[in-house]
Structure 1
């Protein structure tokens, strides 16, 4: 079953519409349509015989088994009545969390509507009708395939990878700096920098990247700074701050960033009704809960999407729909530049100026000329039956280190280079050249991939029978990832024994992947308290197992995956911390927690693996 099919089937729930018979409801909020619904069996109402379902057709998205259009691209759909006295059509996409839409028509009339399919691959539009007597029809399920999402029309990575800096890697050209560009290292990736904004600097592109009078989307990674560094305690801003906007004549057409909503700080995507200084009407999709000082210094992904066909205005925070509003005013095209780190705002005297300046860091700014979908954010599986390839989401974590050990058996005890962009090195302690009884670290040709693996603190191939010191490995240049942000670490592990004191597989700063004294695999985050995720079943001596530990700042969770499966025990209230310690492999420290067994394919990510990504890491390794 494809991921699209799973999305569809997981949302189809049976219900009984009072006095009207059974219905298929899309999502938990579907009963807000004006037909109304009640839980199955409530009231003891016997279902009536249903009328014939409506017809559904689309020239833009025909039901022909071939991919058309694209994710986030609107198309026209026509509904035709199954009986002559139809007066209402009720429709919605299976799997959507949004309410069903009800439209009233003259008796027996067809209805054409412009809709934006919510996902890449298989989509199902569900439609039923209600006649003049209140009798509803059976539900029509219109299945069609949507082509891959188009790339963004502008993308400013705003980092020092490959000399990106201010470049637009899609359209070419570079941003203009108004003020002083300052770059701060090691907050998102170790060894790389992102721009820091002090409230007096903004970046701008020479022309608008999209038509804000049509559908569009925008996203950025943002990191709030302390609003008052002179105060020992961290402080949230008490004013609006805009991460990204596009300037009109009097004001920006949208503001993506931080906003005071009814006196409380929220993430927000705000659209003014018109390009005038006197306009006081706004459409604001904002996060449901207020921010706290715990959000200061944490990288957060914001995305705003506007659908011109429906007026739907959506804010996503870390890939989750956090706010949704319907815009009731017409969209208007902004002719000015894209602004990063500030907005164009109207003043009380009728003039306009730069304002709502950002204090903190910004990176990875993207703009699309279409609606954003969850598939853009999270990616999607391939579907060979429909020819749909796998697509990675823009929230996919970045691999910062990868040690496979292939070929190391013939290279001796020297440093092991990571195959990632950063090429970090591991240095072994306890390895001797030539191999001997005194050594406690080395390589064997017995990995899970039938290539070399690292062995530690047990006899292997006749060596290590009389070790002189504990064996472990450590990164030569310090930490490989900021441990106050989301992090994922993984390895293939084969323990020599499963009893005795805790043995550590991987540790950097407050993050630790280990085998507990009780014999369970566990992943812990120990800053600001202890959050622990543990395996459903005990470790097994002598057997290879794939482990992934995930620290997720968006959910404040510590998660553990064993052979790609999320374990039931999840650590909550997890808080990271900045650390200057190196990554230890096979030890908690040089003098404690030494692991006895074999390790292979050690991978470290900046960012939190999703369930799908953790499973794919296991199956693809």
Structure 2
């Protein structure tokens, strides 16, 4: 407290004494002879606008008139009231004091508050103190005995709008700069020397805070573009009182990510001795354990692959490094291991004992090794294609692994160095993991960070229609497939219902029948041995697949379980979409290769009889997931590794169990689709509203 304030407090002594004597006769307290004065308020229980009681250089700055709070106590446990007092020295050097009228009494230990008056000036050191009265006696001020006063500065002026600049991404409207996956440095500065932080956000991102080394100083923001286009950085300077400046808006353009610095499709013709370069200009020469002409991953743009037998000569090399491993880089490849019982390297760069990176398998998982760090994630499956992307981010200090476009793991505190040595495909020159045994395709290396959306796009596998049955007509006991594929053979008394002569609603003698679900007809099943099935064309149950259909359950059979769709295995149904009569919910029943059952129930989707519903079953082999969509909404989902190897016929209206066929459906089915690949949520929604293809 400044000296003038202390004199002011002293001048109040007489008034305080008078005030104390004035309350002696207050009826709700005992006499002074039987009473102890209230306790001195503890500084630890005083706050200034929610901030701790502090004086001197650490005094808080506040942007609005603060509310002072204090916990007051009475050793006798009685009720107490409070008196707050603030003081300051005005511009003329005169001391000013303001105090409360004595507050309403509360129980001992209660919190008392007071908002400082409007004439407290800005940019002035203000002191305050508080004391308690028990109705008879005043306790000591919180500042008595050398405890010191609480202080604050009322600051109403916001700092100036900050400035922003970036060498990588200038705000010049003159073109597209660098690109996705390349960090930009944005320098933010302020002309206000009381700026203690900057709050900022890149449009679409969360708000963050950066603190300069000293008030009014600059900060550097590092930001990684995730997408091309125009981006906006918004920044505000914030002072000690929490006042925020007018936002500075910095607009800049980000280009597409740089293309790979080295790439090989590995789709060269059988008999080739080297892989031609897709990027980088250096072919990859093959060893003796390499055979070109293998098939590439299905439903991708990769048309071929190279086979490696795992021997010492099973590798290809470009004869030069592809990237500086001490800087940001990314590497990807399509990989298909013949076995998963040993560590193997798909792509690497290094020399001798110095490893730059290695991408492959390790300890039974996919792996990406950078320097002395490794990130693992996902489970390889023998004979299955997978897409791997490894990313080293030196700014964040992370190594990240994507498997089939999904982030499988991240390791932090990674520090890599520039490793000499040539790029290797199918082996590592540093020992440890063995040479690759299986197929490889589509190897790419970037001198930048590949972001998540790019990794997902690179791993994308098309969804291909395997069959579409409109169920509008039938001939010779079957309903045709749209593109001339295998028809659905009708079994039992199954028929294609058509309403060829619609009723005239003006004719009172005409009673209209139920209209087809879609188009000119639908499959009608009576629940007593009726079904439809493919004959010879099945679902490739060892890979991702999707099946979908519209269905209407006959209310007359609503209490019994019935099958809508099923995928047949050797002796039973591998997967079954069914109706539960007990709960009137949709279910998925699964059977893995060992015969273990699993049932999923659609949540939030009521299978109301006599209403049309859309169901879609999706098996995502890359993600090892089963998904059930009901009426266009994802309703059940679980991780699943079935180990399916058989190709199963598609069955409509029945399923196969250990005791034979059953679960016959009574109702109507229409618009049946089968796909190779996992349908997305958007694709399922399109089918649900009646689209004939996605």
TM category, shorter: 0.5 to 0.7
Q: Distance in 2 between matches of 1:360 and 1:74?
A: 36
Structure 2: which 5+ runs fail to align? 1-49, 53-59, 64-151, 501-514
Taking the TM superposition and a 5 Å limit, the aligned residue runs for 1:240-319 are 240-246=343-349, 253-259=356-362, 267-272=366-371, 282=372, 284-287=373-376, 300-307=386-393, 312-318=398-404, 319=406
Aligned to 2:576: 512
Q: Report the Cα distance in structure 2 between the residues aligned to 1:169 and 1:524, rounded to whole angstroms.
A: 48
1:566 matches 2:634:
yes
Q: RMSD over aligned Cα, in angstroms? A: 5.4
> Which residue of structure 2 lines up, in the alignment, with residue 117 of structure 1?
225
Contact 1:457 1:470 in 2 (8 A): yes
Residue 446 of structure 2 corresponds to residue 374 of structure 1: no
TM-score when normalising by structure 2? 0.57
Q: Which has the higher contact order (CA 8 A, sep 6+)?
A: 1
Q: Can you list the C-alpha shifts for 1:364-402, whole angstroms capped at 9, x where unaligned?
A: 544444321122234xxxxxxxxxxxxxx2343432434
Which one is further off, 156-165 or 513-522? 156-165
1:30 is matched with: none
1:537 alignment partner, SS class: strand
User: Does structure 1 residue 577 correspond to structure 2 residue 643?
Assistant: yes
Aligned counterpart, 2:310:
199
Q: Is the 8 A contact 2:231 2:254 kept in 1?
A: yes
1:606 aligns with 2:673: no
In the aligned structure 2, how far is the partner of 1:165 from the partner of 1:572? 45
Decide whether aligned partners of structure 1 residues 251 and 600 sit closer, same or farther in structure 2, where only a CA change above 3 A counts.
Answer: farther
Partner of 1:179: 289
Determine the C-alpha separation between the residues in 1 that align with 2:609 and 2:174: 49
Q: Is the 8 A contact 2:181 2:450 kept in 1?
A: yes
Which protein shows a greater Rg? 2
Cα distance between partner residues in 2 of 1:120 and 1:412: 56
TM-score normalised per structure 1 = 0.63
Contact map agreement 1:558 1:571 (CA 8 A) in 2: yes
Alignment of 1:132-531 (within 5 A): 146=254, 170-171=278-279, 176=286, 178-181=288-291, 197-200=308-311, 202-204=314-316, 206=318, 210-212=322-324, 214-222=327-335, 226=339, 236-237=341-342, 240-246=343-349, 253-259=356-362, 267-272=366-371, 282=372, 284-287=373-376, 300-307=386-393, 312-318=398-404, 319-320=406-407, 322-331=409-418, 336-337=422-423, 339-345=424-430, 356-359=434-437, 362-363=440-441, 365-378=443-456, 393-405=457-469, 409=473, 416=480, 425-430=485-490, 440-441=495-496, 451=519, 455-457=523-525, 470-474=530-534, 476-482=536-542, 487-497=544-554, 499=558, 500-509=560-569, 510-517=574-581, 518-527=583-592, 528-531=596-599
Assess, with a 3 A threshold, how the Cα gap between structure 1 residues 313 and 151 changes in structure 2: closer, same or farther: same
Secondary structure at the aligned position of 2:454 is classed as helix
Task: Give the SS at the match of 2:648.
Answer: coil
Aligned to 2:164: 56
Paired with 2:181 and 2:51, the residues of 1 have a C-alpha distance of 31
Taking structure 1 as reference, are residues 120 and 494 closer, same or farther at Cα in structure 2, changes over 3 Å only? farther
CA distance in 1, matches of 2:528, 2:630: 33
